[in-house]
């Protein structure tokens, strides 16, 4: 049985991202997976890494629990909106505080390469945006997708990282949204 950690990183729980996260969970549980859905907005933590890596900042209980949940997960699903070309500040703060040296990676002495500590995990990013996908790819060069996939998750050893984007949200019809929800449900059922 696969353990799946689903993180809804939209600050508003009454969002399309919440619906997508719930539909992924529904599909995955129907296929027999064990799922835990976490809404980042419900967690209590300071999103600012106050001294960088110069001084250890103690983790709040919610972040300690999230590290345990991530460590136990086989598959990570992150659902979030694309704002200003990347992801919300809430998600960035969560990553800064949780994906720390000693947990997600370890610096190697006299090397530019790191030891990846979150191997044997896969990930799916489910991203909503108002920018059309073709424009995000050709003009912006997908900065948020590249950052999450290469600069964060694969840096820590999580791979493969697959990305599903839905756009443009602002002009989507109810029928289009229903298709998106069905697609995510199917992704959950297939547990990828």
DSSP 101: B
**CA dihedral sign of residues 87, 88, 92, 98:** negative
Give the closest residue to 62 by CA, choosing from 36, 40, 34, 35.
40
Between CA 5 and CA 46 the distance in angstroms is: 21
pLDDT of residue 150: 97
Rg, the chain, Cα only: 17
* Sole residue written with tokens 């992924």: 24
Q: What is the predicted pLDDT for the residue at 192?
A: 81
How far CA 81 is from CA of 3, 31, 89, 117, in Å, comes to: 24, 26, 11, 27
| Predicted local distance difference test score (pLDDT) of residue 22 | 98
The tens-digit pLDDT sequence of the chain (192 residues) is: 899 999 999 999 999 999 999 999 999 999 999 999 999 999 999 999 999 888 989 999 999 999 999 999 999 999 999 999 999 999 999 999 999 999 999 998 888 889 999 999 999 999 999 999 999 999 999 999 999 999 999 999 999 999 999 999 999 999 999 999 999 999 999 988
Report pTM. Answer: 0.96
Residue 138, CB half-sphere, CA atoms under 13 Å: how many? 4
Can you give the pLDDT at residue 146?
97
The helix/strand/coil state of 82 is coil
Complete DSSP assignment for 20-39 = HHHHHHHHHHHTT-EEEEEE
**Which residue blocks in 40-158 are alpha helix, DSSP H?**
61-72, 89-98, 133-138, 143-146
Which residue, chain included where needed, has tokens 């939209």?
10
Q: Would you state the pLDDT for residue 112? A: 87
pLDDT at position 53 is: 86
């Amino acid at each position: 049985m696969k353990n799946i950690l689903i993180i809804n990183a939209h600050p508003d729980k009454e969002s399309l991202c919440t619906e997508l996260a719930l539909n992924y969970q529904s599909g995955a549980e129907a296929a027999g997976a064990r799922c835990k859905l976490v809404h980042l907005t419900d967690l209590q933590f300071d999103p600012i890494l106050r001294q960088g890596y110069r001084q250890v900042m103690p983790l709040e209980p919610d972040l300690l629990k999230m590290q345990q949940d991530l460590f136990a997960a086989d598959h990570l699903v992150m659902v979030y909106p694309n704002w200003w070309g990347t992801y919300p500040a809430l998600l960035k703060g969560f990553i800064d505080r949780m994906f720390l040296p000693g947990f997600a990676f370890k610096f190697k002495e006299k090397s530019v390469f790191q030891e990846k500590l979150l191997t044997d995990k896969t990930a799916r990013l489910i991203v909503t945006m108002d920018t059309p996908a073709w424009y995000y790819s050709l003009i912006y060069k997908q900065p948020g997708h590249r950052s999450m996939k290469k600069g964060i998750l694969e840096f820590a050893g999580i791979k493969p990282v697959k990305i599903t984007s839905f756009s443009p949200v602002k002009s989507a019809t109810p029928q289009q949204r229903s298709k998106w929800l069905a697609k995510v449900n199917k992704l959950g059922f297939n547990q990828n």
